C-alpha cells in the first residue's frame, strides 16, 4: 500500500546532519573515538527512512562531507597534498555513503527491516572495497581503523580483512533504526534484531576465542631506534653530517644489541646513500650477531632513485635491499616503485616493508602467504598521524598473521603481535635526543583464513548489495513508499 513520506519538522534535517557530522568527525579523526563510529549514522538513517530520497541523499552527502573535514588540515597543511586530492579524500566517503543510505531507505520504506539492516553494511563495505582498489592511498580512512582499541572486534580481520570490521560497525546503527521503524509487524522486528545480534555474537565470540588461543611458538628480542636528524631530512652519507648521523645510529644500535636485541630497526630514509656497502653497520651486525635494518634514500643506481630498506645480516657480503612499493602522490613521485617482496633468510621467517606499503591489504596478503612471522617496517610519519598510521600497520599484522616491528620518524616506535596487541611503544615526536625501544615479541605459526581468500568478503558485500538494489526494481532510485502492515 503506497503512502507519502512521513511529515517531519523542519529542524529534523539539520539536526540529523549536525549529529551525524559530529559523530563522523570524531570517528574519522587522526585520534578516533571508537564508539563514535557506531553511533554516527543513527540520526541520518532515522531521518532518511522518513523523508524523500532526494533529501536523504543531500543530507547524507552533507553529513559525511562535513564530518570528513576533520582531516582537511592534515592532508592540506601537514602532508601538503594538492587541493584536488584533499577534496577527494574528504568527499569520497560522503559520495560512497549516498547509495548505501538510499538503498537502506528504500528497503526500510518497503517494510523489509532485515534486508534494510543488512543493506547498509553490505553497500558501505562493498563500495569501500572499490574505493581502496582505485585509490593511491589504499585503505586509508576506512572506518575499521577507528576500532583498533577494540581488540575482540579487530580479530575479525583475520577472517575477512578490515572489511568485516567495517561491516560490524555499520550494522549497529542500521539494526537500531531498522527494528524501530513504525508500522512493522512484530515478527519482522524480531527477525531483524535476531539477525543483527547473531552477527555481533559471532564477531565478538570469535575475537574472544582468538585472543585466548594465542600460545607463542617462539620469541625474538627486537630493538627500535630513531634519532633526530638535521632539518628532519635525509642526510647524505658522503657528508660530515651524514657520518655523524650514522655514528649516532651505530651507537644506539650497539647498545640495544648489548641488551640482547636480535633485530634492530631504524626509520625510513634515515640516510641518503650512494652505495649499499656501509662498513660500520656490517661490522656491527658481524660483531654482535644482530640483524640491522635502516631506511635509506638509495642513489646507488644513477638511473633510478629508490626508497629502500637495507638489512645487514651477520657475516654476509652485502645487505639485502627492499624497495618501497607504494608512495604518497606528488610527495614521493621521484622514486621508482619496487616490485619484489623480501623475506630474509633463515629463521624466524621475517619480511620487510616500508611505511605506506602497510596502507594496502596486498602487503598483508603477500607476507601472510609467505608464512611471515614478523614484519620489519621503517616508517616516516607526520607527527599528527602517529597513532593512526601506526595502528593501520598493526591491522595488517592481524590480517596476515604476523607480528610487527615498526620504527617511525616523527611518529611512534611500535612492537605488536599477530593479534593486534601493542606490546611496547614510544613516541619519536618532538624529541631532540635518540628514542629507543626494546621488547620480546612473541611469534606464532599463524595462517589466517584471510590469506586464503583475500578481499573476497568486500567484493561479496558489493555483489550482495547490488542484488538487493536490483531486487527493488529496475529503477532503484524511484521514490518507493509502500509499507506492509
User: CA of 216: how far to CAs of 173, 330, 391, 442, in Å?
Assistant: 37, 42, 22, 6
The pLDDT of residue 393 is 98
Helix, strand or coil, per DSSP, at residue 419: coil
* Among candidate residues 152, 257, 255, 270, the one with its CA nearest the CA of residue 211: 152
- Say if residue 1's pLDDT is above 70: no
- Say if residue 482's pLDDT is above 70: no
* Among candidate residues 93, 76, 153, 163, the one with its CA nearest the CA of residue 126: 163
**Tens of pLDDT along 165-184?**
999 999 999 999 999 999 89
The average confidence (pLDDT) of the chain is 93
Chain-centroid distance of CA 471 in Å reads: 33
pLDDT grade for 85, boundaries at 50, 70 and 90: confident
- Say if residue 361's pLDDT is above 60: yes
- What is the residue-wise DSSP string for 62-100? HHHHHHHGGGHHIIIIIS---HHHHHHHHHHHHHHHHHH
pLDDT grade for 442, boundaries at 50, 70 and 90: very high
The answer to whether the CB of 428 falls within 8 A of the CB of 454 is no
The answer to whether the CB of 348 falls within 8 A of the CB of 218 is yes
Give the whole-angstrom CA distance, residue 353 versus residue 343: 10
The answer regarding whether domain 218-443 maps to CATH 3.30.70.100 reads: no
Work out the average pLDDT over 55-64.
Answer: 97
Question: In angstroms, how far is the first alpha carbon of the chain from the final one?
Answer: 9
**Tens of pLDDT along 374-419?**
999 999 999 999 999 999 999 999 999 999 999 999 999 999 999 9
Q: Where are the domains of the chain?
A: 12-213+455-472, 218-443
- Say if residue 3's pLDDT is above 80: no
Give the whole-angstrom CA distance, residue 431 versus residue 338: 31
The pLDDT of residue 331 is 86
Lowest-confidence region among 3-12, 60-69, 118-127, 203-212: 3-12
- Say if residue 353's pLDDT is above 60: yes
Phi/psi at 377 (nearest 5 deg)? -135, 100
Q: How many CA atoms lie within 13 Å of 469's alpha carbon, on the beta-carbon side?
A: 18
Stretch (H or E) spanning 368 = helix 361-368
pLDDT grade for 450, boundaries at 50, 70 and 90: very high
**Tens of pLDDT along 103-124?**
999 999 999 999 999 999 999 9
The answer to whether the CB of 413 falls within 8 A of the CB of 405 is no
- Give just the sign of the alpha carbon dihedral 217, 439, 342, 398: positive
Helix, strand or coil, per DSSP, at residue 144: helix
Chain-centroid distance of CA 82 in Å reads: 22
Stated pTM of the model: 0.93
Give the whole-angstrom CA distance, residue 415 versus residue 443: 12
User: CA of 75: how far to CAs of 29, 70, 78, 385, in Å?
Assistant: 12, 10, 6, 10
Give the whole-angstrom CA distance, residue 323 versus residue 341: 8
Phi/psi at 381 (nearest 5 deg)? -100, -170
With a pLDDT cut of 70, the percent of the chain lying above it is: 95
**Tens of pLDDT along 208-254?**
999 998 889 999 999 999 998 875 466 899 999 999 999 999 999 99
DSSP conformational letter for 142: -
Q: How many CA atoms lie within 13 Å of 481's alpha carbon, on the beta-carbon side?
A: 10
Strand partners, 408: 379
The answer to whether the CB of 108 falls within 8 A of the CB of 481 is no
Strand partners, 225: 436
The pLDDT of residue 116 is 97
For strands 304-312 and 271-273, give the pairing.
unpaired
**Tens of pLDDT along 152-167?**
999 999 999 999 999 9
Give the whole-angstrom CA distance, residue 145 versus residue 161: 12
* Among candidate residues 407, 451, 409, the one with its CA nearest the CA of residue 430: 409
Name which residue leads in pLDDT, 480 or 462.
Answer: 462
pLDDT grade for 5, boundaries at 50, 70 and 90: low
pLDDT grade for 485, boundaries at 50, 70 and 90: very low
Work out the average pLDDT over 343-369.
Answer: 97
Amino acid at each position: 500500500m503506497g503512502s507519502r513520506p512521513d511529515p517531519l519538522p523542519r529542524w529534523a534535517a539539520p539536526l540529523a546532519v549536525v549529529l551525524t557530522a559530529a559523530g563522523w568527525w570524531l570517528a574519522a579523526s587522526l585520534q578516533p573515538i571508537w564508539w563514535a563510529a557506531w553511533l554516527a549514522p543513527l540520526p541520518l538513517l532515522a531521518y532518511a527512512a522518513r523523508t524523500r530520497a532526494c533529501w536523504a541523499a543531500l543530507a547524507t552527502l552533507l553529513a559525511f562531507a562535513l564530518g570528513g573535514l576533520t582531516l582537511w588540515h592534515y592532508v592540506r597543511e601537514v602532508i601538503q597534498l594538492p587541493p584536488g586530492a584533499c577534496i577527494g579524500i574528504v568527499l569520497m566517503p560522503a559520495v560512497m555513503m549516498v547509495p548505501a543510505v538510499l538503498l537502506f531507505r528504500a528497503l526500510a520504506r518497503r517494510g523489509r527491516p532485515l534486508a534494510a539492516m543488512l543493506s547498509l553494511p553490505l553497500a558501505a563495505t562493498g563500495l569501500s572495497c572499490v574505493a581502496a582498489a582505485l585509490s593511491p592511498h589504499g585503505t586509508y580512512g576506512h572506518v575499521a581503523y577507528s576500532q583498533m582499541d577494540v581488540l575482540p572486534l579487530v580479530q575479525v580481520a583475520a577472517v575477512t580483512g578490515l572489511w568485516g570490521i567495517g561491516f560490524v560497525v555499520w550494522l549497529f546503527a542500521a539494526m537500531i533504526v531498522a527494528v524501530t521503524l513504525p508500522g512493522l509487524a512484530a515478527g519482522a522486528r524480531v527477525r531483524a534484531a535476531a539477525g543483527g545480534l547473531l552477527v555481533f555474537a559471532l564477531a565478538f565470540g570469535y575475537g574472544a576465542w582468538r585472543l585466548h588461543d594465542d600460545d607463542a611458538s617462539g620469541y625474538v628480542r627486537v630493538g627500535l631506534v630513531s634519532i633526530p636528524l638535521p632539518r628532519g631530512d635525509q642526510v647524505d652519507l658522503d657528508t660530515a653530517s651524514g657520518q655523524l648521523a650514522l655514528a649516532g645510529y651505530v651507537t644506539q644500535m650497539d647498545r640495544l644489541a648489548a641488551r640482547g636485541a636480535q633485530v634492530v630497526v631504524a626509520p625510513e630514509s634515515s640516510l641518503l646513500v650512494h652505495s649499499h656497502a656501509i662498513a660500520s653497520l656490517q661490522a656491527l651486525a658481524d660483531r654482535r650477531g644482530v640483524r640491522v635494518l635502516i631506511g635509506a634514500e638509495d642513489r646507488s643506481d644513477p638511473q633510478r632513485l629508490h626508497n629502500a630498506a637495507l638489512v645487514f645480516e651477520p657475516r654476509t657480503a652485502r645487505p639485502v635491499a627492499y624497495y618501497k612499493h607504494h608512495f604518497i602522490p606528488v610527495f614521493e613521485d621521484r622514486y621508482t616503485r619496487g616490485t619484489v617482496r623480501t623475506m630474509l633468510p633463515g629463521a624466524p621467517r621475517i619480511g620487510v616493508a616500508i611505511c605506506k606499503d602497510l596502507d594496502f591489504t596486498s602487503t598483508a596478503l603477500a607476507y601472510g602467504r609467505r608464512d611471515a612471522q614478523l614484519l620489519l617496517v621503517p616508517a616516516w610519519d607526520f607527527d599528527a598521524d602517529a597513532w593512526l598510521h601506526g595502528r593501520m600497520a598493526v591491522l595488517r599484522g592481524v590480517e596476515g598473521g604476523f607480528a610487527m616491528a615498526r620504527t617511525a620518524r616523527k611518529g611512534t616506535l611500535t612492537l605488536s603481535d599477530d593479534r593486534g596487541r601493542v606490546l611496547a611503544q614510544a613516541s619519536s615526536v618532538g624529541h631532540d635526543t635518540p628514542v629507543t625501544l626494546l621488547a620480546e615479541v612473541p611469534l606464532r605459526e599463524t595462517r589466517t583464513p584471510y590469506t586464503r581468500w583475500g578481499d573476497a568478503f568486500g567484493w561479496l558485500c558489493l555483489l550482495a548489495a547490488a542484488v538487493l538494489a536490483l531486487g527493488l526494481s529496475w529503477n532503484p532510485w524511484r521514490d518507493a513508499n509502500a509499507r506492509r502492515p
